[in-house]
Chains A and B, each alone.
Chain A
Amino acid sequence: MNTFGWLVKREYWEHKGGFYWAPIWVSGVMLLLTLLGIVVAESAASRIEVNGGIPWREISERMSSGDFVHAGTGLDVAYVALAGLLCVVFFFVVFFYLLGALYDDRRDRSVLFWKSLPVSDTSTVLSKVAAAVLLAPLISMAIATLAYIVLLVIVGIWALLHGINPLPAIGASHTLGLFWRFLLTLPVDALVALPTVGWLLFWSAYARSKPFLWAVLVPLFAFIANSWIGLMGLPHLSKEFLYKDVISRLLFGIMPGWWLEDGGEKFRLTRNVFRGDDMLEVFSPSHVYGLLATPGVWVGAIVGTALIVAAIWLRRSRIETSS
């Protein structure tokens, strides 16, 4: 393995709790709650909605009535829900990971150990970018997929207990198709995440204390100041532009797939999939990669790259923190 590989591995060692255990625990709890819900629904013979995104009622009713196509759609929704849940976990984990990435080792002075090794600051910072936009999402996706497979086993057992063959429903779902489409969204996610990655790494490298406050309060004050300037009747940026195109891209850009909603009507269709729309359509490559035709993505990528370069530059000589 080369130096860069070791650097990424180092990130994994240090942040295994967030990158690996957090999604495992969350999806485990989700599956457990679903299982409990099913058991309760069965024993009470009632149609309790098993909450949390997995449309159990749809799946079980359609399977019972032999509507395997829509049962399969229900399974697709469950897969997307599991993945979506882990996206939320991912957001928090990676947000705080990036804020600490170039700060924590300065605070505990272990930066002096890392800097005593023949590793350039550029590789160090880029390894943290790679951990955030490649390693962590891949682990998250793998765990979501495993959790979905466990769910399929649960559904299968339930079906067999009711004398239903689960295979037609599973066959009507799009497990593999969705899996590939999720994978295909990762490069776009990474590109869209660049401004946030750069913004958080920049403050992580810059702050002598409390990188979180810098990263969050600077945009907040900019927003408030802009509103005041507006109230005074002076030229200012539109609130919507500042929030949607600047602040949320600097702070929330690492949320996987958040741009799908922005990309048009398609994402809202997930709520209407039972009316016959195809889940695959939402994540279709032409839809996902259509985003690349919008200039905002590239402007953000340039800004993000500039911020990462600034973080590398700061990393060169900024070692002390105030604590």
Chain B
Amino acid sequence: MSAVVHARKLSKKYGTTVALDAVDFEIEAGRIVGLIGPNGAGKTTALKAILGLSEFDGELSVLGLDPRTDRPKLMEQVCFIADVAVLPRWIRVGQAIDFVAGVHPRFSREKCEAYLGHTKIRKDMRVRELSKGMIVQLHLALVMAIDARVLVLDEPTLGLDILYRKTFYENLLSEYFDENKTIIVTTHQVEEVEHILTDLIFIRDGRIVLDASMDEVADRYSEIMVNPDKAEAARALNPLSERQIFGKSIFLFDGVDRSRLAELGEMHKPSIVDLFVATMKGTYA
């Protein structure tokens, strides 16, 4: 199956600031891709280009279409939740459903109403009367009722409490995602998406610094907890990062032979957060 998103030398400048510096990447169908990077790294710029919301240089096709010229057609197959609380505040829930049902050929009113049935949202409410969490529930209900091929989420759970955040991703996985769909998500709350991602793209200063599947990441990176007496030996293997806990050192290694590391101490699967911190060291310095 061909790539859902195909980018070659994708670039974008704002004045003299380079937001994206000739990046190449492919996103295959049926994946859940985490696009992760510090503030200002170019994540949102990349998403905007994919969604046809901004101009760019280079080559980019989404589902075989050029987002700049074919946005209306593209949006039949691509949904996005860009940030929380972008639903118009004046609209009533029922009007929002009517409107999307009216303009979107792949929207199912029944599905949407079924999702909303599990919430406290009523159709006569206006968006401005809803809490932030309820707005996201409504937006998710609208989006999940659309039988699209790509879903783009830009910080979808920012500012929500833990209950909303948990159910958000649970609903997405259990009721929406299948092998024909692709989800691209950016977030700072990496630990929450870690277990659902199939692929990881780290982006820093407009460049891609890591583009790998989660399996590859698990193969490549290892984390070892080392007693002080063996710390020097570990340092000699050129770790990505080192931190101290309870008098022991924790090292993160990239592509170092597992059997050698096992002699030094206790091995763990590294968390994405630790990997992220190690990779992005010095970003704001």
Contact = CB atoms under 8 A, between A and B. Distances in A.
B37 to A, nearest CB: 20
B88 A113 contact: yes
Given A3-B103, A112-B82, A118 B76 contact: yes
Contacts of A110: 86-89
Nearest to A111: B86
B116 to A, nearest CB: 17
B99 A10 contact: yes
Contact of B91 (A14, A119, A121, A319): A14
A108 interface: yes
Interface in B38-58: 51, 53-55
A118 B73 CA distance: 6
A281 interface: no
B103 A112 contact: no
A301 to B, nearest CB: 27
A162 B97 CA distance: 56
Contact of B83 (A7, A109, A118, A120): A109
A117 interface: yes
Given A13-B91, A13-B95, A317-B54, A119 B86 contact: no
Contacts, number: 76
A321 to B, nearest CB: 13
A222 B76 CA distance: 45
B35 to A, nearest CB: 17
B201 interface: no
A112 to B, nearest CB: 4
A1 interface: yes
Contact of B103 (A14, A115, A117, A317): A117
A29 to B, nearest CB: 25
A317 B74 CA distance: 16
Contacts of A116: 51, 75, 79-82
A1 B54 contact: no
Contacts of B88: 14, 105, 108, 110, 113-114
B81 to A, nearest CB: 8
A118 B75 contact: yes
Given A105-B88, A108-B88, A118 B72 contact: yes
A113 B53 CA distance: 12
Nearest to B154: A112
A289 interface: no
Contact of A119 (B87, B98, B103): B103
A13 B95 CA distance: 8
Contact of A112 (B71, B86, B92): B86
A14 B90 contact: yes
B104 interface: yes
B168 to A, nearest CB: 17
Interface of A: 1, 3, 5-7, 9-10, 13-14, 105, 108-121, 317, 319
14 contacts: A9-B102, A13-B92, A14-B91, A105-B88, A108-B88, A109-B85, A110-B89, A112-B53, A115-B71, A117-B103, A117-B104, A118-B73, A118-B104, A118-B105
The 4 A-B pairs with the shortest beta carbon distances in the complex, nearest first, are A6-B102, A110-B88, A118-B75, A120-B72
